[in-house]
């Protein structure tokens, strides 16, 4: 996608759907790309609402000891959402650059705290490394859901063109140069965050580890509190990165298709309604692990793992059975399998969690 951003001389594809339109035609490109991209971005925002609320809830549990009154998770999700009722009115990606940088730093920080605190806690007495599910069917479904988790974790492609659009570009110094460097650094940071947490967390807690490992940790209290605050800052920035393209799409539709005036009132209403909607869904379905698996497969797999490959094949038309042709087709087949199987596992997990869950509790 970085390579395709300026594939036509003198033109930049600053939106995912613009690239889709170039590959598939004006109308078909919109119908293929926009619904999938919207599902991704809305899904991420819902997951981040749940993540931010749960982290705040954990901070309250750690700092407020008995006889402390229990506060519902719903209220903490509302507190997290209140920040976005303000930040969502920033004009563009450049305006949230500081928030985005803080989010990246926080991500590396809380991940380091998570695995180092796990090492300090040590291997638990009752640790078990076997499958969590008791049946073969349950194990298979959990595997499907885990594939969705991985897809969710490595799926930054959905906003890569919008981010690249903010980088200055000339024929001598095209934007793909600094963008490629940024992508490589970003995925190195992602690997440094995820791999130690996954391996050490499982080593210490086994199959009883929480979806969010920080929820499995209690001491040292001050460090775990700080790590959860870092999570909150991280998802605040990440929420805005995924919400900005949705704001752009909705406002463009209302102005160009429905003839609304591009006023501050329109922006105020659209953005507040969007934040309120994602907050409400997050409060209603606060199932972190299940949501990751479901959205990772159903939404992220198409826009990340096979749609860019289809666009590449449609535009560049590499020679049949060449290395480029083979790699792209392998990604397409695997991506389709991921899209079909992962949501099944994620949805099953949500259903199982919902059995014992009291809504708005």
3-state helix, strand, coil in the chain (%, to 5): 75, 0, 25
* CA neighbor of 197 nearest in space, from 268, 149, 259, 130: 149
Sequence length of the chain is 361
Distance from C-alpha of 116 to C-alpha of 64, rounded to nearest angstrom: 24
What's the whole-number average pLDDT of the chain? 81
In this structure, the dihedral spanned by the alpha carbons of residues 89, 91, 93 and 96, taken in order and rounded to 10 degrees, is: -50
Tell me how far CA of residue 57 lies from CA of 115, 153, 350, in angstroms: 21, 23, 20
Tens-place pLDDT, residues 35-73: 888 887 888 888 888 888 888 888 888 787 766 777 788
Q: Is residue 111 within 8 Å of 264, Cβ to Cβ?
A: no
pLDDT tens-digit profile of 181-226?
Answer: 988 888 888 888 888 888 888 888 888 777 777 777 767 777 778 8
Query: What is the rounded distance in angstroms from the CA atom of residue 162 to the CA atom of residue 132?
Result: 40
């Amino acid at each position: 996608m970085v390579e395709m951003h300026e594939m036509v001389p003198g033109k930049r594809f600053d939106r995912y759907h613009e690239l889709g339109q170039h590959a598939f035609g004006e109308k078909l490109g919109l119908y293929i790309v926009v619904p999938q991209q919207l599902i991704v971005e809305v899904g991420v925002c819902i997951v981040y609402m749940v993540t931010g609320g749960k982290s705040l809830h954990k901070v309250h549990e750690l700092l407020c000891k008995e006889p402390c009154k229990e506060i519902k998770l719903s209220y903490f999700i509302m507190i997290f959402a209140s920040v976005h009722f303000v930040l969502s009115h920033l004009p563009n990606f450049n305006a949230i650059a500081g928030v985005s940088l803080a989010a990246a730093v926080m991500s590396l920080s809380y991940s380091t705290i998570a695995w180092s605190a796990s090492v300090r806690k040590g291997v638990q007495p009752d640790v078990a490394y076997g499958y969590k599910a008791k049946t073969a069917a349950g194990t298979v479904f959990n595997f499907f859901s885990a594939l969705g988790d991985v897809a969710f974790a490595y799926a930054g492609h959905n906003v890569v063109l919008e981010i690249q659009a903010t980088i200055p570009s000339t024929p001598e110094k095209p934007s793909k140069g600094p963008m490629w460097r940024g992508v490589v650094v970003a995925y190195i940071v992602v690997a440094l965050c995820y791999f130690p947490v996954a391996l050490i967390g499982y080593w210490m807690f086994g199959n009883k580890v929480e979806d969010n490992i920080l929820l499995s940790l209690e001491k040292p209290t001050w460090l775990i509190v700080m790590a959860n605050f870092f999570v909150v800052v991280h998802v605040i920035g990440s929420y805005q990165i995924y919400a900005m393209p949705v704001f752009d799409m909705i406002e463009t539709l209302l102005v160009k298709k429905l003839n609304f005036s591009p006023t501050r009132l329109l922006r105020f209403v659209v953005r507040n309604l969007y934040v309120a909607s994602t907050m409400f869904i997050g409060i209603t379905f606060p199932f972190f692990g299940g949501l990751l698996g479901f959205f990772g497969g159903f939404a992220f797999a198409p826009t990340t793992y096979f749609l860019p490959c289809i666009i590449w094949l449609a535009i560049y038309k590499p020679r049949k059975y060449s290395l480029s042709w083979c790699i792209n087709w392998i990604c397409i087949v695997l991506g389709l399998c991921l899209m079909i199987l992962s949501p099944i596992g994620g949805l099953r997990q949500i259903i199982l969690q919902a059995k014992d869950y009291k809504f708005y509790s």
